[in-house]
Chain A
Amino acid sequence: MTRIQLNVNETIHDVEVEPRHSLVDTLREGCGLTGSHIGCEHGVCGACTVLVDDQPVRGCLMFAVQADGKDIRTVEGLDDDGAFNALQQAFHEHHALQCGFCTPGMLMLATWIVERGLPVDDNELREIMASNLCRCTGYRNILRAVRAVLDASGQDGAGA
Chain B
Amino acid sequence: MTLIGKSVPRLEDRELLTGTGRFAGDQNFEGQLHMRVVRASLAHGRILSVDTAAAAASPGVFAVWTGVDVADVSPINLRPGSALQDLEKCRQHILAQDIVRYVGEPVAVVFADDPYRAEDAAELIWADIEELPPVVGLMDMPGEFAPGVSTEPAVLVKGYGDVDAAFASAAHIVDCELSVGRHAGVPLETRGALAIWNDDENRLEFHAAAKIPHTNRIALAELLGLELDQLHLFEGHVGGGFGVRGEIYPDEVLVNLAALRFRRPVKWIEDRMEHLIAANHSREQTHRIRAAINADGLILAIDDEFWFNQGAYARTHGATVPVVSATMLPGPYKVPAYRATGRIRLTNVTPAGTYRGPGRYETTFVREQLMDTIAAELDLDPLAVRRTNLIAADEMPYERPFEIGGKPIIYDSGDYPESLARFLDHVDYDAVQAEMAERRASGEMAGAAIICFVELGGDGPFDDVRVEMDTDGRVEVITGVASVGQGVETVIAQICADTLGIDYAGITVTHGQTDRIARGQGARASRVTVMTGNATHKAASGVRGMLLEKAAELLQSPVETLEISDGVIGIVEGLGEGPSVTVAAAAAEILRGQNAPRIAVEESFENDRATYSFGAQLAVVVVDPLTAGVTVERFAVVYDIGRAVNPMLVEGQLVGGAVQGIGGALFEEFLYDETGQPLSVSFADYLMPTAAEVPDVECLVLEDSPSTTNPLTLKSGGDPGITGAGAAIAAAIGDAIGRPGAIKRLPVTPLRLRAILRGDADRKQEKNNAENGVST
Q: Give yes or no for direct A-B contact (beta carbon below 8 Å).
A: yes
Binds A, one of B83-91, B223-231, B652-660: B652-660
* Docked-complex contact A101 and B116, CB < 8 angstroms: no
Cβ of B691 under 8 Å from chain A: yes
Proximity bits, B454-492, A CB within 8 Å = 1, else 0: 000000000000000000000000000000111100000
Among B18, B237, B271, B691, point to the contact of A78 (Cβ < 8 A): B18
Q: A66 contacts which chain B residues (CB < 8 A)? A: none
Q: A107 contacts which chain B residues (CB < 8 A)? A: 17
* Docked-complex contact A99 and B18, CB < 8 angstroms: no
Answer whether A47 and B272 are a contact pair too, CB < 8 Å, given A97-B16, A99-B484, A139-B691. no
Among B9, B188, B655, B683, point to the contact of A138 (Cβ < 8 A): B655
Answer whether A133 and B21 are a contact pair too, CB < 8 Å, given A138-B656, A138-B658. no
Cβ of A116 under 8 Å from chain B: no
Answer whether A136 and B690 are a contact pair too, CB < 8 Å, given A35-B20, A45-B683. no
Cβ of A44 under 8 Å from chain B: yes
Answer whether A74 and B19 are a contact pair too, CB < 8 Å, given A95-B10, A135-B242, A138-B655. yes
Give the residue name and chain of the A residue nearest to B684 (CB). A44
Proximity bits, B179-208, A CB within 8 Å = 1, else 0: 000000111111000000000000000000
Cβ of A143 under 8 Å from chain B: yes
Q: Quote the shortest CB–CB distance from B520 to chain A (angstroms).
A: 20
Q: B696 contacts which chain A residues (CB < 8 A)? A: 139-140, 143
* B563-594 contacts to A (CB < 8 Å): none
* A27-83 contacts to B (CB < 8 Å): 28, 33-42, 44-45, 47, 74-76, 78-79, 82
* Docked-complex contact B12 and A79, CB < 8 angstroms: no
Give the residue name and chain of the B residue nearest to A99 (CB). B485
* A1-36 contacts to B (CB < 8 Å): 18, 20-21, 28, 33-36
Q: A74 contacts which chain B residues (CB < 8 A)? A: 19
* Docked-complex contact A99 and B17, CB < 8 angstroms: no
Complex Cα gap A102–B18 (Å): 12
Cβ of B682 under 8 Å from chain A: yes
Task: State the majority secondary structure of interface residues on B.
Answer: loop
* Docked-complex contact B692 and A34, CB < 8 angstroms: no
Q: A139 contacts which chain B residues (CB < 8 A)? A: 659, 690-691, 694, 696
Cβ of A98 under 8 Å from chain B: yes
Cβ of B25 under 8 Å from chain A: yes
Count of interface residues, chain B, beta-carbon cutoff 8 Å: 56
* Docked-complex contact A100 and B691, CB < 8 angstroms: no
* Docked-complex contact B16 and A100, CB < 8 angstroms: yes
* Docked-complex contact B652 and A42, CB < 8 angstroms: no
Q: Quote the shortest CB–CB distance from A152 to chain B (angstroms).
A: 18
* B670-723 contacts to A (CB < 8 Å): 682-684, 688, 690-694, 696-697, 721
Complex Cα gap A12–B360 (Å): 53
Complex Cα gap A141–B10 (Å): 14
Answer whether A101 and B17 are a contact pair too, CB < 8 Å, given A41-B272, A126-B691, A133-B690. no
* Docked-complex contact B648 and A95, CB < 8 angstroms: yes
Q: B23 contacts which chain A residues (CB < 8 A)? A: 34, 37, 101
Q: A141 contacts which chain B residues (CB < 8 A)? A: 652, 655
Among A41, A102, A137, point to the contact of B655 (Cβ < 8 A): A137
* Docked-complex contact A135 and B655, CB < 8 angstroms: no
Q: Quote the shortest CB–CB distance from B277 to chain A (angstroms).
A: 14
Q: B21 contacts which chain A residues (CB < 8 A)? A: 34-35, 100
Among B17, B648, B691, point to the contact of A103 (Cβ < 8 A): B17
* Docked-complex contact A35 and B19, CB < 8 angstroms: yes
Q: B658 contacts which chain A residues (CB < 8 A)? A: 138
Proximity bits, B2-20, A CB within 8 Å = 1, else 0: 0000000110110111111
Give the residue name and chain of the A residue nearest to B117 (CB). A18
Among A102, A131, A142, point to the contact of B188 (Cβ < 8 A): A102
Answer whether A136 and B18 are a contact pair too, CB < 8 Å, given A39-B188, A101-B188, A101-B240. no
Cβ of B239 under 8 Å from chain A: yes
Complex Cα gap A39–B15 (Å): 18
Q: A149 contacts which chain B residues (CB < 8 A)? A: none
Task: State the majority secondary structure of interface residues on A.
Answer: loop
Among A40, A82, A93, A126, chain B packs the most CB atoms within 10 A around the CB of A40
Q: B648 contacts which chain A residues (CB < 8 A)? A: 95
Among B272, B657, B697, chain A packs the most CB atoms within 10 A around the CB of B272
Cβ of B560 under 8 Å from chain A: no
Answer whether A103 and B242 are a contact pair too, CB < 8 Å, given A39-B272, A133-B688, A143-B696. no
Among A28, A91, A138, chain B packs the most CB atoms within 10 A around the CB of A138
Complex Cα gap A47–B240 (Å): 13
* Docked-complex contact B691 and A143, CB < 8 angstroms: yes
Answer whether A75 and B19 are a contact pair too, CB < 8 Å, given A44-B683, A98-B487. yes
Cβ of B449 under 8 Å from chain A: no
Cβ of A130 under 8 Å from chain B: yes
Complex Cα gap A40–B269 (Å): 12
Give the residue name and chain of the B residue nearest to A143 (CB). B691
Q: Quote the shortest CB–CB distance from B685 to chain A (angstroms).
A: 10
* Docked-complex contact B272 and A100, CB < 8 angstroms: no
* Docked-complex contact B9 and A92, CB < 8 angstroms: yes
Complex Cα gap A79–B239 (Å): 22
* Docked-complex contact B25 and A28, CB < 8 angstroms: yes
* Docked-complex contact B240 and A136, CB < 8 angstroms: yes
Q: Quote the shortest CB–CB distance from B733 to chain A (angstroms).
A: 20
* Docked-complex contact B25 and A137, CB < 8 angstroms: no
Among A103, A126, A136, A140, point to the contact of B692 (Cβ < 8 A): A126
Proximity bits, A111-153, B CB within 8 Å = 1, else 0: 0000000000000001101111111111111110000000000
- Supply 12 further A-B pairs (C-beta < 8 A) apart from A42-B682, A100-B21: A35-B19, A35-B21, A36-B19, A44-B683, A95-B649, A99-B240, A100-B17, A101-B188, A101-B237, A127-B692, A138-B697, A139-B694
Ordered nearest first, which 3 A-B pairs have the shortest CB separation? A35-B19, A99-B485, A100-B16
> 23 A–B contact pairs at CB < 8 A?
A21-B116, A33-B19, A37-B23, A37-B189, A45-B683, A91-B13, A92-B10, A95-B651, A97-B16, A98-B652, A99-B189, A99-B240, A100-B15, A100-B16, A100-B17, A101-B187, A101-B240, A135-B240, A135-B660, A137-B655, A137-B656, A140-B696, A142-B691
- Give residues in A with beta carbon < 8 Å to B: 18, 20-21, 28, 33-42, 44-45, 47, 74-76, 78-79, 82, 84, 88, 91-93, 95, 97-104, 107, 126-127, 129-143
- Give residues in B with beta carbon < 8 Å to A: 9-10, 12-13, 15-21, 23, 25-26, 116, 185-190, 237-242, 269, 271-272, 484-487, 648-649, 651-652, 655-660, 682-684, 688, 690-694, 696-697, 721
